[in-house]
Chain A
Amino acid sequence: MEHIVFGIGITALTGALATVAGSAEDTESNIGSQGDPNSQVQLAPQMGFLHRIFNKAVAGEPPAYGLWCCLGAGLAWAFMAMQFNAVLAIVLGSVLAVFVQGVYATTAYVGRTASLSKFGQPVYVDILKSMTPVTMAHAFIAIFATVALCQLINGALGHPFPLPLLALIWGIALGAAGSATGNPYYGKERQYQNQKFGAGVPISASGNIVRYAEAGERNSIDNGWFTAKIGGSASGICFGLIVFLELWRTILFDKIGAGWGSIAIGVLMILIFTVVDRYIEVWARKNYGPYSEIKEASS
């Protein structure tokens, strides 16, 4: 019984860490403009829309976060092998991983913008100097939280995978969850704020991103503020739910039916989420209504 209570307590802590990691990850990737929405930031100068957005073209979020978290965990593992205190090791590992992330961010911005020189897009050194520390700070939170939750899973809950491999898995999952949830919000809502709300961006408007903000010219810190409104929290809830539910169903129900208990609970959870998703979809169709008249299904 005590064993289960301990397990649940650790699970709750990892769920909280995962939520923080998810929201920090999405905010960081939007401050740096990483992943699929970044294609618009790259396209804009070619259409003549020069801008002051930080163009961080470092792969997509899943492989990039897989690397930062795995690197932080590998360094933490090495420090712990040298008999460092576990918390200190994780902090040092995260700091060094964030240093690598910052270097990659700067080289990506400078490289892509220099390659767009034909269209007159300048490299803004002040953007480099002011955005990089902000994106590094958010990344530190995400990396630290992820490596810490991996250490809890490995050390306190007894998962067989070593720390770097766990961090690879959860880093890629973090990037995938945060990217899936947060990208459309940043891409459609923020970059195309001047388009009509409540509809997708028409293809004819590609490249025409918003470049002037409420005061002055838009830069990526404005985007970070915007992400914190809903995108960051949604990504945090997404990744937090993933980690928490995965651990919760295993800790509580694994002993029941020699493993079939946790499978049954997992299937039940999938069905619950399916029902919730269907409800959301039907609610949207009913409340928002169609864009045009319902046509007869013709083909």
Chain B
Amino acid sequence: MSVKVEVIEGGVPHNKIMIAGVVSTLVCLYLTYLNVLTGTEMFSFFGGLAVVAALIWGSHTIKVLCSYGIGTGVPSAGMIAFGSGVIAMLLATRFNILAPIVALILAAIIGFILGYVSNNILNMKIPAMVQALTEMAVVGALTLMGFAALMTGGFTFAGLTTGTVTVLGQVLLTQQQSFMGGCLIAVAFLLGAIAIQHPFNACLGPGWKQDRMLMLTAECGFLSMLVAAIMSFALISAGSALISLVIAIIGWGYTYCQYMILSKRDAAAWLDSKPIPEVEGH
């Protein structure tokens, strides 16, 4: 027996959020390509902004899916999204500049088939299942690509698997100290999987409000960007990582404060050191 999910209405319609999410994520991912055009790594922070945009879209998809009472918890939806997304994302990185578009198409195919399997072979028969799983696989793939771009400056397979190490003053190429070699993709995987399901899970209840949930998603996204930016100090130049870190800190601080203000607005009471209120009959 857990909190029953109620009919949740109001706010911006899901399709609008989806379109806005797709467009802004792809735009931010391609803005990281400026790194290649200008020969620096300064624009890596756009990868983090892509993560935030994709997560906002993805958390709303999870809200749509889990409103139907799927029988399992909310976290498993995040896991299946990223489990299918990670494989699509890595294949897409082989396609150099087309990587984000390929990731979108490939993840959509994988998500669609998984949705069909869940709905028809496993007989879940939830109206929104196929579209939701398709969207979530795409969100998973694009979020991971955003993390990769944030931490390494690009989204190509060669860039993700090669790093540098300084031995006796000599800078050598190595596979070990790279995004894939150190398996930082595992960190990105879990960061995204928890961040995508947390906002709906944490705002679950009869008093659910869309603006509060989306603000929380932005906060989770910026928090993930913060720690990913710290990890990126090992892989990209200190100046570029510092830019990402500063943007993430500012973004997180703002969204966290806003989230607290919105929660104060919605809560029954905001008490400090007060006893349990007396309720009739209990």
Using CB atoms and an 8 Å cutoff, list the residues of chain A in contact with chain B: 39, 42-43, 46, 48-52, 57-60, 63-64, 66-67, 70-71, 73-75, 77-79, 81-82, 96-97, 100, 103-104, 107-108, 110-126, 161-165, 168, 203, 206-207, 211, 217
Contacts and interface: CB of A to CB of B under 8 A. Distances in A.
A165 B187 CA distance: 8
A39 B1 contact: yes
A77 B75 contact: no
Contact of A58 (B194, B206, B227, B280): B194
A43 B207 contact: no
Contact of B277 (A50, A59, A114, A115): A50
Contacts of B275: 217
B279 A163 contact: no
B2 interface: yes
Interface in B194-221: 194, 197-199, 201-208, 212, 216, 219-220
Contacts of A67: 190-191, 193-194
B183 A64 contact: no
- Interface extent on B, as a size class? 35 or more
Nearest to A48: B282
Contacts of B128: none
B273 A57 contact: no
Nearest to A76: B231
Given A52-B276, A59-B198, A78-B234, A162 B263 contact: no
A27 B194 CA distance: 21
Nearest to A130: B273
Contacts, number: 203
B75 A74 contact: no
B95 interface: no
B3 interface: yes
B233 interface: yes
Q: Which of B204, B219, B276 has the most CB of A within 10 A?
A: B276
B130 interface: no
A66 B192 CA distance: 12
B184 A112 contact: no
A118 B207 contact: yes
Q: Which of A119, A126, A164, A165 has the most CB of B within 10 A?
A: A164
B172 interface: no
B256 A103 contact: yes
